[in-house]
A = this chain, B = another copy of it.
Amino acid sequence: MAEMRRDEKRKFVRDAIYAAAIDLFADRGFDETTVEEIAQAAGVSRRSFFRYYASKDDLLAQTAVSYGAALRSAIEGSPRELSPLEVMRATVRAGVEHAAAPEVRTRQVVEIAIRSESARQAYQSRSSSIEDSLASAFAARTKKRSAVDAESRLLAGVTLAVLNATIASWFAGEHKSLPGAASRVLQLLIKTMDGD
């Protein structure tokens, strides 16, 4: 730790705080863990904790934010010629891949969110800004003047609804793999919007 550049050390400490927090949350629960304890487990002062994360909630919110960033990239990276529905498919696929990455600790985070109401709220606290972000990404590739309108907002909302249902279904054990759950949910979506 002594032979590190400033930015390296900063990332190192930030990751250490995050890891310590998730472990404590998973262990004794979100509400039962104080900032003081997280700071201590990560080897920093309580005051310094707030120099890395704006709040205790922010720890979980950041998890959601990186998830949202992955989704946004997928939308932006989609070939121009794809239809909105195809972009949605690609975005759902990207979301599932993100959630499946081990360093994301999806299972642990879902468990923390299920055990504590406030943890779930913390995780979802950025959901509207994430939705806004996806909506503007959809608008940017479809609309001429990139104006966020009802269609882009709808696409963003439905995409997130599909991913939520996918992860819930996977966590509930209805599917063993995330991609499998995703295909199933997408299939349900199209069927429902058809005749019936």
Q: Taking beta carbons and an 8 Å cutoff, which residues of A are in contact with B? A: 83-85, 117, 120-121, 124-125, 127-129, 131, 149-151, 153-158, 160-162, 164-166, 168-169, 174, 181, 184-185, 188-190, 192-196
Contacts and interface: CB of A to CB of B under 8 A. Distances in A.
Given A127-B127, A169-B149, A154 B188 contact: yes
A57 to B, nearest CB: 9
A157 B162 CA distance: 8
A153 B32 CA distance: 30
Contacts of A185: 150, 154
Classify the secondary structure of A's interface with B: helix
Nearest to A125: B121
User: What number of copies of this chain does the assembly contain?
Assistant: 2
Given A124-B128, A161-B160, A196 B84 contact: yes
A188 B150 contact: yes
Contact of A168 (B125, B153, B169, B190): B153
Contact of A150 (B83, B125, B184): B184
Given A128-B120, A161-B157, A174 B192 contact: no
27 contacts: A83-B195, A84-B196, A85-B193, A85-B196, A117-B129, A121-B121, A121-B125, A124-B125, A125-B125, A131-B164, A149-B174, A150-B166, A150-B184, A153-B168, A154-B162, A154-B185, A155-B192, A156-B161, A157-B157, A157-B158, A157-B160, A157-B164, A158-B158, A158-B189, A160-B161, A161-B161, A189-B193
